[in-house]
Amino acid sequence: MASDATIAHGKIDHAKKSLVHDPVEGDKSKITLVKALGSFVWDDQGNRYLDCTSQAWSNNLGANDPRVVEAAIAQLRQITHARPNFNTPALLELTAKLREISPGDLNRIGYTLHGSLAVEMAIKLAYKNHPGRHNIIVLQDAYHGRSLTTMAASWPHPNNPFLPIQPRFTRVPHPDPYRPRLGLDPEIESQLCLQLLEETIVKGVDGGVAAIMLEPIPGNGGHIALPVSFLKGVRAICDKHDIVMIFDEIQTCFGRTGAMFGSDYFGVIPDIMTFGKGVSGGFPLAGIMASERLKGFETGEDALTFGQFPVAMAAAVAAVNAIIDDKLCDNAREIGAYATQRLHEMAQNRALIGDIRGPGLFVSIELVKDRQTKEPATRAAAEVYRRGVERRVLFGESRYAGLGNLIKIKPPLDVTKEDMGHALDVLDEVLGSIEADGIA
């Protein structure tokens, strides 16, 4: 395997200047990946890494699972493209499968290729169902993507150059169980945030609210599960004011939390749910599941040329079946519990660990300079990533609003206990070396 990677090296043009996404000349920070299998990736130098990022938390099923690869190849031989006015067997099969496992009555499915566009589809559907209402409410630490609209719906981007042409969203505070405001009891803070939310709906906006959109666990904004009381409270407020509740489940879908969807994990059913990332075994696919009570789109309101890519859909059928057949929700719960227990043990010796978060394999730790003040240890987090790479383990970092003191440990859901154990051994060693070097 290493030799494949070595052969690939040399064919690859490293001229970073040619990429609009990476204008830093001579930037050596990006690894060039040439191969992936299960929980591992290989670079162009033949190095193998244990991938605790699942490549943007998308390989819920380990990379290049043969069932997915075979399904995609078989589909390639049949039909690779059909415009949205047509069905394909892959689309029909996937839709039937998703309807089978969707929470509550979220039985109307829509597809696109990127999470950001799935979020936009959900927003459009909410407006479609509440014509004349002008506002969408989002949470202050939300992350919903990087299209113009979803970037505006996310936490304020420092020096955002796109502001003049972005729509405006209303951002509201949400509970932070790790740093509750005024040191309040987290449950009281949850109630306070619900009260502020309702006041915003009634007195804080002009033109009515079409939807409240939130991630059950803000994945790029703290990575901290919202209290169930808050999610249930938002549901009740949406019912009371006839507002569409949208869960952005692009990170929490398909087993990552140890339940099939975040909605199942928290026991709260929204009116629209987005999905993406883990659905398709590494192929581009995302979409929404919407309540049967909502009106759908009419011709021309939501159609993208490649939005129903049959190859990604065939891959998704195989990936979703594999997640179910291999009982990966159970594995996520089991290995996630093992990881968080080991992290609690590690925290006894590693003062940098301020907080340990789950559930399932939605695992992260927040690094702090001091457990009392909870001041973020941003430099230490950057070092964990760097020293992890040296030891051939890829940890996830968070760059949220420039804070970046989170380390995410989110390998594929079929990771073995042995591999997770190795990642944690490396983390412990790396944290020890960082503490010894006095970096925080």
Q: How far is the CB of 362 from ligand PLP (least distance, A)?
A: 11
* 143: contact with ligand PLP by CB under 6 A: yes
Is 284 within 8 Å of 312 (Cβ atoms)?
Answer: yes
Q: How far is the CB of 174 from ligand PLP (least distance, A)?
A: 14
* 368: contact with ligand PLP by CB under 6 A: no
Provide the 8-state DSSP code for 350: -
Instruction: Pick between residue 60 and residue 380 the one whose CB is nearest to ligand PLP.
Output: 60
Provide the 8-state DSSP code for 298: P
* 152: contact with ligand PLP by CB under 6 A: no
Query: How far are the Cα atoms of 19, 29, 56, 61, 219 from residue 407, in angstroms, in the given order?
Result: 28, 18, 13, 21, 12
Instruction: Pick between residue 248 and residue 271 the one whose CB is nearest to ligand PLP.
Output: 248
How many residues of this chain bind ligand PLP (CB under 6 A)?
15
Residues 6+ apart with CB under 8 A from 317: 71, 90, 93, 94, 97
Candidates 143-151, 205-213, 365-373, 391-399; binding stretch for ligand PLP (CB under 6 A): 143-151
* 114: contact with ligand PLP by CB under 6 A: yes
Candidates 110-118, 292-300, 401-409, 428-436; binding stretch for ligand PLP (CB under 6 A): 110-118
Interacting positions 370-429 with ligand PLP (CB under 6 A):
none
Report DSSP letters for 154-211, one per residue: SSPPTT-TTGGGS---EEE----SSS-GGG--HHHHHHHHHHHHHHIIIII-SS-EEE
Q: How far is the CB of 437 from ligand PLP (least distance, A)?
A: 32
Q: Which residue is nearest to ligand PLP (CB)?
A: 115
* 42: contact with ligand PLP by CB under 6 A: no
Q: Radius of gyration (Cα) for the chain, nearest Å?
A: 22
The helix/strand/coil state of 51 is: strand
Interacting positions 193-252 with ligand PLP (CB under 6 A):
215, 219-220, 248, 250-251
Is 60 within 8 Å of 415 (Cβ atoms)?
Answer: no
Candidates 113-121, 292-300, 320-328, 359-367; binding stretch for ligand PLP (CB under 6 A): 113-121
* 115: contact with ligand PLP by CB under 6 A: yes
State how far the Cα of 122 lies from the Cα of 297, in Å rounded to an integer. Answer: 11
Instruction: Pick between residue 8 and residue 263 the one whose CB is nearest to ligand PLP.
Output: 263
Element (H, E) at 220: none
State how far the Cα of 144 lies from the Cα of 157, in Å rounded to an integer. Answer: 12
Task: Give residues in contact with ligand PLP (CB under 6 A).
Answer: 114-116, 119, 143-145, 215, 219-220, 248, 250-251, 276, 286
